[in-house]
């Protein structure tokens, strides 16, 4: 149950028991459907890397009247540093953070998905990479987020220049991104823009690799066909989940293709106190998976 903290021990288990766990395919369930009434299938997940940016100039805060104008403000410096990572509309400005995997094949699959991302939450059409559809941004591109930002205590502000400022950041990324160069590219980018004083902290960060089973995989053809026959229409196929999973322990360590069939929906309030699952969706999912395993065994 440690997926949210990187599934400690899972990779070691798979490495130690490769022969025992050798399989043709992994079929599992996680995440939300694209639409609540249409089965969804995805082949991997976006990766994620968390890191902290820190600016620290001195010990203790100093009166903003007595020292304002002659002491560097870490909050101002950090704000400007963040602005060279992504522009005001969320477009990533680091070239090495942009993927090379949004191929025509992937685009064609994504064009088959509903253009409406959510029935209840209005998305920001002009946010993110320009000229991409919402589904391309979500499933085929990378996104930069600031998870937390601080300098001083906003609930108890004082008239003082703070000694430090911090931002906890995250890059969600798809395959086609050189994960080993994400942090080094950030360091080079900040230095080129004059932010050598910004420290990058990666200690104890929870990271996930990006994965995506080939769209031409024979197991995708089998599973997709069985699900569509049961559903009576086309299902939704996405190259990868927009979220992150420790899926590479299966694809990379065990060398097994993965097919994920989610049974939740996007408005389920995942990770919130009122997270829920409609009974009808649960029943449909049970029937769907029973039918899938029956016919996979029958066709084998």
Any domain includes 80: yes
Kindly tell me the burial class for residue 139, based on how many C-beta atoms sit within 10 Å of its own C-beta (0-12, 13-18, 19 or more): buried
Q: Does residue 255 sit in the same domain as residue 288?
A: yes
Instruction: Report the distance separating Cα 64 and Cα 229, nearest Å.
Output: 69
Residue-level pLDDT at 1: 64
CB-based contacts of 295, cutoff 8 Å, min separation 6 = 226
Instruction: Report the distance separating Cα 2 and Cα 21, nearest Å.
Output: 20
Q: Does residue 188 sit in the same domain as residue 277?
A: no
Q: Does residue 192 sit in the same domain as residue 73?
A: yes
Instruction: Report the distance separating Cα 182 and Cα 208, nearest Å.
Output: 13
Any domain includes 257: yes
Instruction: Report the distance separating Cα 207 and Cα 215, nearest Å.
Output: 25
Q: Does residue 36 sit in the same domain as residue 161?
A: no
Tens digit of pLDDT at every position of the chain (300 positions): 677 777 889 999 999 999 999 999 999 999 999 999 999 999 999 999 999 999 999 999 999 999 999 999 999 999 999 999 999 999 999 999 999 999 999 999 999 999 888 777 788 989 999 999 999 999 999 999 999 999 999 999 999 999 999 999 999 999 999 999 999 999 999 999 999 999 999 987 778 999 999 999 999 999 999 999 999 999 999 999 999 989 999 999 999 999 999 999 888 888 788 989 999 999 999 999 999 999 998 765
- Show which of 167, 201, 235 is a domain's final residue: 201
Task: List, in sequence order, every beta strand (DSSP E) within the chain.
Answer: 26-28, 32-33, 40-42, 44-45, 47-56, 62-63, 143-150, 160-161, 164-173, 199-201, 211-212, 236-238, 258-260, 264-265
- 8 Å CB contact between 244 and 173: no
CATH code assigned at 52: 3.30.70.360
Q: Does residue 157 sit in the same domain as residue 58?
A: yes
Q: Does residue 33 sit in the same domain as residue 157?
A: no
Is the pTM higher than 0.95? no
- 8 Å CB contact between 139 and 216: no
Any domain includes 73: yes
**Domain range enclosing 255:** 3-46+211-299
How far is the CA of 248 from the CAs of 7, 47, 113, 240, 253, in angstroms?
Answer: 11, 10, 25, 12, 7
Q: Does residue 241 sit in the same domain as residue 293?
A: yes
How far is the CA of 297 from the CAs of 205, 281, 292, in angstroms?
Answer: 41, 24, 9
- Structurally, the chain folds into a number of domains equal to 2
Any domain includes 262: yes
Q: Does residue 179 sit in the same domain as residue 197?
A: yes
Structure tokens at 229: 């026959």
Q: Does residue 61 sit in the same domain as residue 177?
A: yes
Q: Does residue 93 sit in the same domain as residue 55?
A: yes
Structure tokens at 61: 């805060």
């Amino acid at each position: 149950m440690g997926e949210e903290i990187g599934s400690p021990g899972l990779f070691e288990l798979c490495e130690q028991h490769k022969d025992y766990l050798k399989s043709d395919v992994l079929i599992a369930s996680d995440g939300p459907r694209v639409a609540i009434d249409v089965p969804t299938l995805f082949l991997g997940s976006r990766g994620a890397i968390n890191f902290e940016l820190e600016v620290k100039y001195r010990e203790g805060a100093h009166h903003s009247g007595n020292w304002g104008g002659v002491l560097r403000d870490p909050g101002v410096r950090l704000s400007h540093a963040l602005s060279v990572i992504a522009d005001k509309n969320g477009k990533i400005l680091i070239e090495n953070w942009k993927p090379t995997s949004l191929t025509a094949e992937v685009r064609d699959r994504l064009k088959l998905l509903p253009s409406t991302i959510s029935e209840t939450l209005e998305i920001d059409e002009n946010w993110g990479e320009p000229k991409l559809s919402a589904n391309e941004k979500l499933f085929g591109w990378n996104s930069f987020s600031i998870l937390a930002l601080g300098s001083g205590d906003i609930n108890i502000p004082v008239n003082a220049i703070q000694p430090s400022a911090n931002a906890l950041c995250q890059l969600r990324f798809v395959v086609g991104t050189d994960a080993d160069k994400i942090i080094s590219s950030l360091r080079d980018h900040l230095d080129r823009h004059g932010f050598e004083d910004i420290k990058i902290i990666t200690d104890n960060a929870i990271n996930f690799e990006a994965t995506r089973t080939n769209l031409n995989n024979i197991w995708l053809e089998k599973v997709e066909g069985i699900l569509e026959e049961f559903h009576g229409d086309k299902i939704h196929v996405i190259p990868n989940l927009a979220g992150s999973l420790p899926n590479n322990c299966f694809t990379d360590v065990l060398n097994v293709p993965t097919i994920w069939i989610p049974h939740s929906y996007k408005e389920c309030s995942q990770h919130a106190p009122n997270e829920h699952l409609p009974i009808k969706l649960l029943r449909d999912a049970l029937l769907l998976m029973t039918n899938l395993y029956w016919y996979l065994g029958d066709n084998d």
